[in-house]
């Protein structure tokens, strides 16, 4: 009986240590986002690098928001893959952990530049859902109350609901971006 008790105490101790370590990492992410992104860039991103001017956090553990200025993503040859002048994102932690998608409370992208180079790397499809989208880039401005983005290997599907695109109000826009045929297919419902 005492062996069983010792095993349960050992398991409880291991789980407690793991939770404390995860909590410390998460707290470090929220309160020190500059250092966290530098560590992620150095330790986890071997084929890419992330440069940025500044990151600010609202320091809210349950609904964190981050603002990043002048973020630049480069490949292993130091060629620029993407540049975003201003990027703000808010994450719904609980919903992101309990659902099979990333849930955002806020997504603002201002002045994005993407390279046209092909990437050899592939990734699993993933979905991002959220509220309060603001996208502004040269000739295109989109504001949407809710949005869904499904990123797959060779295509992307976007759904925007209740918003404005270049000062024209819409109820719903569904778009499909096909990388293979370099085409965009969409349907929309507008009101004037």
| Residue 107 contacts residue 133 (beta carbons within 8 Å) | yes
Instruction: State the first-to-last Cα distance of the chain, in angstroms, to the nearest integer.
Output: 75
Helices (H), 32-136: 33-43, 93-98
DSSP state of 78: S
Residue spans per domain, the chain = 51-190
Looking at residue 17, its pLDDT comes to 93
Q: Which two tokens stand for residue 188?
A: 């929309």
The Cα–Cα gap between 58 and 35 comes to 16
**pLDDT per position in the chain (192 positions), as tens?**
688 888 888 899 999 999 999 888 888 888 888 888 788 777 777 777 888 888 899 988 888 999 989 888 887 777 788 888 899 999 888 888 888 888 999 999 988 887 766 555 556 788 889 999 999 988 889 999 999 988 887 788 999 999 998 888 999 999 888 877 778 888 888 876
pTM of the model: 0.77
Looking at residue 134, its pLDDT comes to 92
């Amino acid at each position: 009986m005492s062996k069983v008790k010792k095993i349960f105490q050992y398991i409880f101790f291991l789980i407690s240590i793991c939770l404390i370590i995860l909590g410390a990492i998460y707290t470090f992410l929220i309160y020190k986002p500059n250092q966290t992104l530098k560590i992620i860039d150095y330790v986890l991103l071997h084929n890419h690098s992330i440069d940025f001017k500044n990151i600010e956090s609202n320091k809210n553990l349950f609904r964190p928001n981050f603002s990043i200025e002048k973020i630049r993503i480069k490949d292993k040859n130091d060629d620029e893959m993407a540049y975003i002048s201003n990027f703000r994102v808010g994450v719904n932690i609980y919903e992101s952990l309990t659902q099979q998608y990333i849930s955002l409370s806020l997504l603002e992208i201002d002045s994005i530049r993407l390279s046209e180079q092909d990437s050899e790397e592939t990734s699993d499809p993933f979905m991002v859902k959220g509220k309060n989208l603001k996208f502004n880039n040269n000739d295109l401005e989109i504001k949407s109350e809710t949005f869904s983005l499904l990123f797959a290997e060779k295509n992307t599907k976007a759904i925007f609901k209740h918003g404005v695109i270049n000062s024209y109000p819409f109820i719903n826009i569904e778009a499909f971006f096909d990388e293979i045929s370099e085409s965009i297919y969409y349907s929309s419902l507008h009101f004037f």
